[in-house]
Amino acid sequence: MQSPNIHPDYNQEIINGKLTINPCPLATGAYDVAELMFGVCIDVWTKREVNHRTQWRQIRTGNIENETNICLHRSVDYKSKFL
């Protein structure tokens, strides 16, 4: 199902029964756009190694007014994003 909140920079279409958005707001880091389009809260965390221990730090707090929360965990290389 397409988002009722259409954004002019993000094309939405259904392909083989799946919603496709180009460009993907999550891949481009446009988390505020994804929050607006789908009514979600997106938090972003990053990790680093300190004294052979992994430490996670929140680098983005999403829109807390939205009930559904998504936490993205970025790897150290800042390229990979995990749900």
The structural domains of the chain, with segments of one domain joined by +, span: 30-82
At 26-42, the pLDDT tens digits run: 889 999 999 999 999 99
**Is the pTM here over 0.85, yes or no?**
no
Strands (E) across the chain are located at 11-15, 18-22, 40-50, 53-60, 68-74, 81-82
At 39-80, the pLDDT tens digits run: 999 999 988 888 888 889 999 999 999 999 999 987 655 555
Q: Give ∠ CA 22-60-76 in degrees, rounded to 5.
A: 80
